[in-house]
Amino acid sequence: MTAPSKTPRALETPFLETRDLTRRFGALRALSGVSLTVAPGTILGVIGPNGAGKSTLINVITGHLRPTAGTVCVDGVDVTGAPPWRIARAQVARTFQIVKPFRGMTVRENVAISAMYGPARGMSKRMAFELADGMLDRLDLTGLAARSPAELPVGDARRLELARALAARPRLLLLDEVMAGLRDAEIHSMVQLIRSLRDSEGVTVLAVEHVIKAIVAISDEICVLHHGEVLTCGAPQAVLSDPRVVQAYLGTRYAQRDGSS
């Protein structure tokens, strides 16, 4: 009788669920009937060739784009079509593929804004700056706190993007290529950080990534998008050795050669 209550919640309710998500830009279907689920406290990696619809997927989930059809549910609540700030206050944070810092503010103020508006609506300025300082420390940005984000190199700029997202104390984190342009050592520490978010804080993560090595290192599951559709989903190694995935990435010729060798 005790068995059902011990069933991990993961098996019952996904924390993030998209159903038949479609987004058209004129005649182009950037997303076409995408249905995904991410269990609470797990990391879903989303990969796919350029133009597969990965960023569009994140933009539709966070309300920056309205879906043409389909639904988005976060923690069982339908948030389809809600404005981005409302979704943010449901403790959903994101990073942008092209980093979007507030250029007229310091690094510290950038992080504090997320803390002021993200997690609890009533957070005072003082509390927000304290939380921001903790986040800067955690992401190794303390030395850059007073700098302008416009002058940061790419690695620091990506960590700032992540610090801002984390300062909102998210339960769901959507990462849009946070590893792009990073050096190996930076990728390694980013992988450690994202794992620790899942393992010690139970954050649910959807990570769009081009760096395959990194996505395999963090993902519990991987989905492949191709031409706006889900090609396949599953365990990382199984997905990467799927011939359809190799074909989507490298073209038919390479898939055949790979299969014959």
Q: For the window 10-49, what string marks contact with other proteins as x by the rule CB under 8 A?
A: ----------------------------------------
Tell which positions 133-192 bind other proteins, by CB under 8 A.
Answer: 164, 168
Taking CB under 8 A as the binding criterion, the range among 77-85, 151-159, 193-201, 226-234 that sits at the site for other proteins is 77-85
Using the rule CB under 8 A, which residue among 62, 80, 204, 219 binds other proteins?
A: 62
> Residue 259: which residues within 8 A CB-CB, separation 6 or more?
243
**What is the rounded CA–CA span in Å between residue 77 and residue 59?**
18
Nearest-Å Rg of the Cα atoms of the chain is: 19
Sheet holding 69-74, edge to edge: 28-38, 16-25, 69-74, 77-78
Does residue 111 sit in helix, strand or coil?
helix
Taking CB under 8 A as the binding criterion, the range among 71-79, 84-92, 180-188, 218-226 that sits at the site for other proteins is 84-92
CB-wise, 103 or 257, nearer to other proteins? 103
Count of residues making up the chain: 261
Q: What does the DSSP assignment read for 74-88? A: ETTEE-TT--HHHHH
Taking CB under 8 A as the binding criterion, the range among 121-129, 151-159, 235-243, 252-260 that sits at the site for other proteins is 121-129
> Residue 131: which residues within 8 A CB-CB, separation 6 or more?
112, 115, 123, 167, 169
Minimum distance of other proteins from residue 81's CB (angstroms): 14
* Closest C-alpha among 252, 209, 215 to residue 243: 252
CB-wise, 104 or 251, nearer to other proteins? 104
Q: Is 257 in the site for other proteins (CB under 8 A)?
A: no
Q: What are the distances in angstroms from CA 75 to CA 15, 111, 208, 217?
A: 5, 25, 20, 25
Minimum distance of other proteins from residue 46's CB (angstroms): 18
Residue count, binding to other proteins (CB under 8 A): 30
Residue for token digits 């404005």?
A: 83
Taking CB under 8 A as the binding criterion, the range among 67-75, 85-93, 201-209, 243-251 that sits at the site for other proteins is 85-93
Using the rule CB under 8 A, which residue among 79, 96, 178, 194 binds other proteins?
A: 96
Taking CB under 8 A as the binding criterion, the range among 4-12, 68-76, 96-104, 200-208 that sits at the site for other proteins is 96-104
For residues 39 and 15, the answer to whether their CB atoms sit within 8 Å is yes
In the complex, the residues that contact other proteins under the rule CB under 8 A are: 62-64, 83-86, 88-89, 93-94, 96, 100-105, 109, 112-114, 116-118, 124-125, 128, 164, 168
